[in-house]
Structure 1
Amino acid sequence: MANSPQSKKRARQAERRLAVNKARRSRIRTYLRKVEEALASGDKDAAANALRAAQPELMRGVTKGVFHKNTASRKISRLASRVKKLG
């Protein structure tokens, strides 16, 4: 357990960051789930719109340090190819 004042503060900060990052990750997963649901329904317009909304959220996650850049790029690329294949 943290003993020094500095380590106690770092523990508090880590707790707050964990909560923020968890919320951000959850939000991004929700956007990705909407794209998946649109793909499953077979509606290309809805899937394209959902992907258009999900892309900035994913990249915002990259700038905030939630995801690695390559991970987000890979996810976007795979979803985009699936949306393109739909029509």
Structure 2
Amino acid sequence: MANTPSAKKAARKIVRRTAVNTARRSRVRTFLRKVEEAIAAGQADDARAALAAAEPEIMRAAQKGVLHKNTASRKVSRLASRVRSLSA
């Protein structure tokens, strides 16, 4: 357990930050799941709309440090390519 006041404060900050990051990660996963479900159902219009909503959410998570920038870009790129192939 933390003993010094600064360590106690750091522990409190970590708890708050973990809660925020968990919520962000969950939100991103929800958006990703919506895109995946639309792709699986073969609904090109819904998939495009879901991707348009998911992309800023994924990039925001990368900006906030929840995901690495390259990971976020890779996810968006792969989803976009799958949505494109769905409508073709």
- Give the TM-score range, shorter chain: over 0.9
Give the Cα–Cα distance (whole angstroms) in 2 for the partners of residues 83 and 56 of structure 1: 16
Structure 2 residue ranges without an equivalent (≥5): none
TM-score by length of 1: 0.97
Considering only aligned residues, what root-mean-square deviation do their CA atoms show, in Å?
A: 0.6
Other-structure match for 2:77: 77
Give the Cα–Cα distance (whole angstroms) in 1 for the partners of residues 32 and 46 of structure 2: 13
Q: Give the fraction of aligned pairs with identical amino acids, expressed as a percent.
A: 67
Cα shift at 1:65? 1.0
SS in 2 for 1:3: coil
TM-score by length of 2: 0.96
Give the Cα–Cα distance (whole angstroms) in 2 for the partners of residues 19 and 67 of structure 1: 15
Q: How many residues align?
A: 87
Give the Cα–Cα distance (whole angstroms) in 2 for the partners of residues 76 and 11 of structure 1: 34
